[in-house]
Amino acid sequence: MAITERASTSLSLNFKRIALISLLFVVGTASGAQFDAPYYVLEKKHAETWEQENKTINNKLASLEKKHGKKPNIIFILTDDIGYGELGSQGGGAVRGAPTPRLDQMANEGLLLNGFYSEPSCTPTRVALMTGRHPVRTGLTDVIFPGNPAGLAPEEVTIAEVLSEAGYATAMYGKWHLGEGEETWPHSQGFDETLFGLYNAAVWAWETPGETVMWKDDHTPEMFNRSVLGTLDARKGGKAKEVAPLNLETYKYFEEETYKRSVDFIKRNTNGEKPFFLYWASNAVSYFTSHPDWEGKSPQGTHFGDQMMEHDHYVGKILDTLQELGIAENTLVVWMSDNGPMYDMFPESSYTAFRGGKSDVLEGGVHVPAIAWWPGVIQPNQIDAETIHVVDFFTTAAKIGGAMDGIPTDRIVDGIEQSSYLLAGTPSRREYMFHYSGPKLGAVRVGQFKRHMAGGHGGLPGKAFFDVYKDPREEHGVMVQMLWAWVPFDDIVSMHNKAIEEYPHRKPYQSKMH
């Protein structure tokens, strides 16, 4: 099939006239899931089209369930710090000295999501994926470092909990990074079984025997001993057990072990009555060391390159497993990065074709690679520029899993349901985005236009507007050319903020430390 390229449609910027109507929609939908105010503008605008698309998708999902005897399986693979352009299918791969043949094959066999957006850093993206909510709404806005009591509040509802209630078997393996208290860990947040670490390898470096570290083990201040830095194994309803210390030596094998656990979970649940949801939060690519079988394999000559090739291999083997077991046609697989490259680790870092990187609301920090794969359901050879955000996969997974009723109704959910876009090739339903930098709104995107929330001067706005189609690196900010859009963008922010007044952000949760 010929490669297709679709462009994003633009949301009308006349929000002033419809702001009040939108807010009335938000207040008036207490019986169902609550979405952000701009969503209701779009829902009204596209009501007839979306109704028809929903009927088509409902019929398609019903037909799939009848054919396979259960709901579709869902696999989310989340990687660490891989920038847009790193894959061979996006111009990287062998060109970067880190070939990605299996991810390129996955893209060719499915949908390359060139318009995918994450949050700017590790913890925020994991919050967004798990809850379908901007991290600021959950009170967990910043990257968690060892010893920090912040964590994912037990009152938040994860996609694992939503799907578990709908009859799914659930598992999580890899990097959790959502708190140090056990009540914040995956087996307390809806996952039946887990093997995980709380961080990447950085904080484990000083635990490695024989290494030159910040403090020797017998002189480490007590405050640095309160964090849980090992590999944890747990089952829902039980207590987590530390099964191994996680340092630069054992870390070499962590990616392989979580991959093996993922394959084992798939095999054990292939013929079960329940569909399954697997969240593989890969530690690729956290740079610090390489698996012995992959060390020095990448022409790039870095741990990053070695890990990229190792991860690519494992993704391919997971897809092969699904094919061999005969369940690929009933399994959605989404591969995605959590944020852009961490250039602080150069040369042990990814890169991005855009300006900026991890921690930025510039495109380099939040515009990252993603692929959706579902043989026989998602058409192959698609390259797509439609806008989709990580929060959307929460709501979309709930839809595909027949669990929309499990989405909480007492809070705003930011994820827009995108099953028609993924499965039927219709336009994305996302025409706006709010990019948060920690607790502050950093940028707003509407259609192809993006405004950074920077200060002006002398009563005039600054050069904060960008047309990301014409200027994807955000190097040529303008003011005069976009004065017509200034007030409409103010209006969409006002709508967003008024909805927050109706549904206030959660206060930061302090986890029970170990």
Handedness of CA 343, 346, 352, 355 (dihedral sign): positive
Rounded Cα distance, 429 and 335, in Å: 20
What is the pairing mode between strands 276-281 and 241-244?
unpaired
What region, left, alpha or beta, does residue 296 occupy, with left being phi > 0 and alpha being psi -120 to 50 degrees? left
Q: 114: how many CB neighbours lie within 10 A of its CB? A: 21
Three-state DSSP class for residue 107: helix
User: Bridge-partner residues for 77, per DSSP?
Assistant: 280, 335
φ and ψ at 222, to 5 degrees? -55, -35
Three-state DSSP class for residue 452: strand
**Minimal CA–CA distance to 62: which of 72, 53, 52?**
72
Three-state DSSP class for residue 466: strand
311 annotated active-site: no
- DSSP letters for 122-167: HHHHHHHHHHSS-HHHHT--S---TT--B---TTS--HHHHHHHTT
DSSP 361: S
- DSSP letters for 159-219: HHHHHHHTT-EEEEEEE--S-SSGGGSGGGTT-SEEEEESS-SGGGGGGSTTS--SS-GGG
Among residues 122, 187, 311, 313, the one annotated as catalytic is 122
Among residues 46, 68, 177, 311, the one annotated as catalytic is 177
177 annotated active-site: yes
Enzyme catalytic residues: 122, 177
